[in-house]
């Protein structure tokens, strides 16, 4: 099952499909035996779609697949204490970040634990491919029969009633002997089932005329009211100059425009490198070449999410054009997010990560989310800051799944060591271009089943409220609350140059589109931090969340407090209105520069 879904609201009038893998039915794998009293299930390792799909047959016995087995760090309490100290100026550990090797020696699973898991996997015929530098994950390959035996769960072929085609998956959670299960937090890769990955999560099929692509950039002439939510870019999007003017980045940048900082972009799709280059040419941007880093072999020919990749890179170029961009790209599979984030953290080349991909917590599964959490703890320990889009379905992040109204938040933005970025509608002064106001992004318009988007936010069902999450508006009786901050994300506020793919998945070449989404707000803030880091001489910040809440308590002028709107998309007045101070629609609001940057660099 695909673990990732793009958080881009790209105005393309097509529906992109993802091919499913058709599997032969000969040579069925041996069904798993009933678990013995000594076996322990790993919750969330089963294929969620298998429970609602029709079983066709047992999986082909000889067919191989690769799994990622996640391990728990040692001394969890000591690690959490160390992470708190990293953000405490009074601590001797303040900003004393670790290398991957130092993290492994101090907090990674012990070598004895790793050897114990490896021995178990090899005893069932699996080939161990790699052990992460931080020792928090092991990848191994084996046949369906071997995997079924090792994890005591039947792998079978299922018919996907919604998408068509077939997939291999496990209807029940993986089980391990208790002495091994105590070391393992998650098992990923027992399924190859995918969800549709669309580069346009919130397209309006009835608005083709007004949302159509333009082959060449044509500035939009807009009226001159006192303030406007439109720019002069393609289809009314803000140009790079207008975004920088609105957020006053001139107050924090210098001539190097982010040079010396490295940002890792999270991608689960390929893209055409020529598209960001065309964007740069249009706006006179000179930027270092984007460096692609393949994980798990890279995305191959899959470019179904290329609009997201292009938007991430283009927004970064708009704000911090001289920052180095490492585009980590992987196929969209059950293990890809774990493997990709692990690669970024253990490579330790980037001090900032931006991600526009995720899933609702209720779909991601607690064990998978917790496995990611351990990777993000390692990132924080190494001084790496992670930004993640908070989702584009308001307070009901699972809305695309049969219009599910359940209040849920997006993973990984709900992780305490990740800065969740929500969405606003930005208004600028029509004359000066300076910031005028912001309201909650909520463009949801239901009419004949057409729909748009709204900034994600709410309360985690998995993570406890961290000790630093306090302040006016924070509910001390609830779990982790998101987003932490927000920025421009509304419909038409970004222009992007990407592929024009129609409803039949036919590529008509590159074109300009009006774009939106918290997937634009996340790289926007990554760009802001790159400028701040460069201003500080290459300062690394690690998890900036404790600082965000500290700054909010000490300097109310460091944020544009958003007090208008709600991110409810179903008319639920309690979920969640913007209020004075922190709220679950926009967090503390959007950063004000130079005040916010000054607070970070103190």
Residue 264 sits in a domain of what CATH number? Answer: 3.40.50.200
Mean per-residue pLDDT, 493-511: 82
Q: Cβ distance 365 to 64 under 8 Å?
A: no
How far is it, in rounded angstroms, from Cα 602 to Cα 599?
5
Residues 176 and 262 in one domain: no
Q: SS3 of 128, please? A: strand
Q: How far are the Cα atoms of 386, 404, 568 from residue 354, in angstroms, in the given order?
A: 6, 27, 25
Bridge partners, 403 (sequence order): none
C-alpha 515/C-alpha 490 separation (Å) is: 8
Query: What percentage of the chain has pLDDT greater than the value 90?
Result: 72
Say whether both 359 and 454 belong to one domain: yes
Range of the domain at 65: 19-72+122-193
Same domain, 277 and 156: no
Q: Does residue 210 belong to any structural domain of this protein?
A: no
Together in a domain, 308 and 225: yes
* 193, 227, 249 - which closes a domain: 193
Residues 499 and 566 placed together within one structural domain of the fold: yes
Domain contains 554: yes
Top pLDDT among 62 and 20 is at 62
Same domain, residue pair 568 and 434: yes
* 171 φ, ψ (degrees, to nearest 5): -75, -20
Instruction: Identify the pLDDT of residue 142.
Output: 97
Partners of 15 in the β-ladder: none
Per-residue pLDDT, averaged over 145-172, amounts to 90
Please give the Cα distance from 80 to 281 (Å, whole number). Answer: 46
What would the pLDDT profile of 361-397 be if each residue is shown by its tens digit?
A: 988 888 999 999 999 999 999 999 999 999 999 999 9
pLDDT score at 161: 74
332 belongs to a structural domain = yes
Cβ contact 326:289 at 8 Å: no
Percentage above 70 pLDDT, the chain: 86
* pLDDT higher than threshold 90 for residue 248: yes
How far apart are the C-alpha atoms of 187 and 569, rounded to whole Å? 34
Higher pLDDT, 334 or 451: 334
The H or E element containing residue 9 is: strand 9-10
pTM for this predicted structure: 0.91
Number of other CB atoms surrounding residue 279 within 10 Å: 27
Q: With respect to residue 366, please indicate whether it lies within any of the assigned structural domains.
A: yes
> What pLDDT digit, counting tens, does each position of 199-218 carry?
333 333 333 333 345 555 55
DSSP, res 570: S
Q: How confident is the model at residue 508 (pLDDT cuts 50, 70, 90)?
A: confident
Q: Give the count of domains, the chain.
A: 2
> Within this chain, do residues 176 and 223 fall inside the same structural domain, yes or no?
no
Residue 45: the pLDDT is: 84
Model pLDDT for residues 274-313, shown as the tens digit of each residue: 999 999 999 999 999 999 999 999 999 988 888 899 999 9
> Same domain, yes or no, for 396 and 262?
yes
Answer yes or no: do 341 and 457 share one domain. Answer: yes
**Quick one: 546 and 580 in the same domain?**
yes
Ranked by mean pLDDT, which of 2-6, 47-51, 98-102, 269-273 comes out on top? 98-102
Dihedral sign for Cα 232, 220, 318, 338, please.
positive
Lowest-confidence region among 27-31, 138-142, 363-367, 403-407: 27-31
Q: Give dist(CA 71, CA 375) in Å, integer.
A: 10
> 385-389 and 419-429 as β-strands: parallel, antiparallel, unpaired?
parallel
């Amino acid at each position: 099952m695909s673990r990732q879904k793009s958080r881009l609201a790209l105005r393309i009038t097509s529906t992109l499909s993802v091919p499913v893998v058709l599997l032969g039915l000969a040579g069925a794998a041996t069904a798993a035996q009933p678990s013995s009293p000594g076996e322990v299930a790993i919750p969330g390792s089963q294929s969620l779609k298998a429970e609602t799909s029709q079983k066709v047959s047992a999986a082909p016995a000889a067919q191989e697949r690769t799994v990622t087995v996640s391990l728990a760090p040692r001394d969890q309490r000591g690690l959490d204490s160390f992470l708190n100290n990293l953000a405490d100026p009074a601590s001797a550990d303040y900003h004393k970040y670790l290398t991957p090797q130092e993290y492994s020696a101090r907090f990674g699973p012990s070598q004895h634990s790793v050897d114990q898991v490896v021995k178990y996997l090899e005893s069932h015929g699996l080939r161990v491919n790699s052990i992460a530098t931080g020792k928090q994950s092991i990848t191994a390959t084996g046949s369906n029969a071997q995997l079924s035996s090792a994890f005591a769960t039947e792998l079978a072929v299922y018919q996907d009633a919604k998408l068509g085609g077939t997939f291999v998956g496990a209807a029940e959670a993986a089980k391990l002997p208790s002495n091994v299960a105590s070391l393992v937090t998650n098992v990923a890769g027992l399924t190859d089932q995918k969800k549709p990955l669309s580069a346009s999560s919130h397209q309006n099929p009835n608005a083709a005329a007004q949302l159509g692509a333009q082959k060449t950039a044509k500035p939009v002439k807009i009226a001159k009211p006192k303030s406007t939510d439109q720019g002069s870019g393609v289809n009314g999007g803000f140009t790079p100059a207008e975004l920088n003017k609105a957020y006053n980045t001139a107050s924090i940048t210098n001539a190097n425009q982010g040079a010396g900082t490295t940002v890792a972009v999270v991608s689960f799709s390929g893209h055409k490198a020529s598209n960001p280059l065309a964007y740069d040419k249009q706006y006179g941007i000179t930027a270092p070449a984007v460096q692609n880093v393949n994980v798990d072999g890279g995305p191959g020919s899959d470019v179904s999410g290329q609009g997201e990749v292009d938007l991430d890179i283009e927004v970064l170029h708009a704000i911090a054009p001289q920052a180095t961009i490492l585009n980590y790209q992987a196929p969209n599979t059950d293990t890809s997010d774990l493997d990709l984030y692990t690669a970024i953290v253990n490579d330790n080349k980037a001090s900032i990560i931006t991600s526009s991909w995720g899933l609702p917590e209720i779909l991601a599964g607690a064990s998978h989310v917790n496995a990611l959490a351990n990777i993000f703890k390692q990132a924080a320990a190494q001084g790496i800051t992670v930004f993640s889009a908070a989702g584009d379905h308001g307070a009901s992040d699972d809305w695309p799944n049969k219009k599910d109204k359940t209040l849920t938040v997006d993973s990984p933005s709900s992780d305490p060591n990740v800065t969740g970025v929500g969405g606003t509608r930005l208004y600028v002064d029509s004359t000066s271009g300076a910031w005028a106001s912001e309201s909650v992004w909520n463009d949801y318009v239901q009419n004949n089943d057409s729909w748009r988007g709204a900034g994600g936010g709410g309360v985690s069902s998995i993570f406890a409220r961290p000790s630093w999450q306090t302040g006016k508006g924070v509910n001390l009786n609830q779990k982790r609350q998101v987003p932490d901050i927000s920025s421009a994300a509304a419909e038409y506020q970004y222009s992007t140059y990407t592929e024009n793919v129609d409803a039949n998945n036919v590529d008509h070449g590159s074109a300009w589109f009006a774009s939106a989404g918290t997937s634009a707000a996340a790289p926007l803030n990554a760009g802001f931090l790159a400028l701040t880091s460069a201003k500080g001489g290459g300062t690394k910040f690690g998890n900036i969340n404790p600082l965000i809440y500290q700054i909010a308590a000490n300097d109310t002028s460091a944020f544009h407090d958003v007090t208008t709107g709600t991110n409810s998309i179903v008319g639920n007045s309690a979920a969640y209105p913007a209020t004075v101070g922190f709220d679950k629609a926009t967090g503390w609001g959007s950063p004000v520069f130079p005040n916010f940057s000054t607070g970070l660099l103190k």
